[in-house]
Amino acid sequence: MPIRIPRDDVPASTGGVLRPALTLFVVLSIVTGLLYPLAVTGVAQTAFPHQANGSLITQGGKAVGSELIGQSFTEPGHFWGRPSATAPMPYNASASGGSNLGPTNPALTDTVKARIEALRAADPGNTRPVPVDLVTASASGLDPHISPAAAAYQSERVARARGLPVGQVQALVQQHTDTPWLGLLGEPRVNVLALNLALDSLSNK
C-alpha cells in the first residue's frame, strides 16, 4: 500500500524560499542602509550642525582644526598641549592610540623626564611642579585639552614671549576654560587650539 506524505511536509521549492529572502534583503537594505542614515543625518544637521560636521574651528572662512583633535605647538609664545604618542607625527587622527608603555617601563620614565626637562628649559625661572598632563600622553593621543593647572603653569612663559601682561594672558585662559557639564560631569579643561588662536588674534591687533 503506497505511503502518502502530508502536503505540509513537502519541501518548499527553491523559488518559494529565495523570493521572500531576496525581498526581505532589499527592504532591510533600503531601511537600514538608506532611510535610517538619511534620517539620522537630517536630524544631526538640523539640531547639531557644528558637531555633525566635525566641530571644526574656522578662521577667516577656512577650517584650521577641530575642537576634538589636538595640534602640536612648540613655540614659547604658544600654550603647549598634552603630548601625543601617535605615529608618524603627533596628533595623527588616522593612528589614534597611546604608547602602551606600562608604569614600570623605563622607556616611559625616560620619556617623562625628557618632557619635564624641555618644559624647564623653556621656562627656567618656573620652579612650580609640572602638571602631569603636560608630560603624559592620553590613551587616544589626540586630546585637544589641558587642565587649568597646565595652562597656569605656562602663562608666564607665554606672556613673556609675547610681551603681554601676565594678567591679560591669565584672563584669556579663564575665558577659554570649559566648566563641567551642569557643574557635575567632567573636569574643567582648556582647549589649546582655541586658546592659541585667541592669543594670535590678540597679538595681531
* Whole-number CA gyration radius for the chain: 28
The pTM for the full model equals 0.78
Whole-number pLDDT of residue 103: 86
pLDDT given for residue 55 in this prediction: 85
Task: State the pLDDT at residue 3.
Answer: 61
Given a contact cutoff of 8 angstroms between Cβ atoms, the answer to whether 140 and 97 are in contact is yes
Rounded Cα gap, residues 141 and 144, in angstroms: 9
Phi and psi angles of residue 170, each rounded to the nearest 5 degrees, phi first: -65, -35
Alpha-carbon separation of residue 49 from 52, 57, 61, 65, 78 (angstroms)? 5, 13, 16, 16, 30
Query: Length of the chain in residues, anyone?
Result: 205
Low-confidence ranges of the chain (pLDDT < 50): 10
Express each pLDDT in 162-190 by its tens digit: 999 999 999 999 999 988 887 778 889 99
- pLDDT value of residue 15: 60
Of 147, 153, 185, the closest CA to residue 166 belongs to: 153
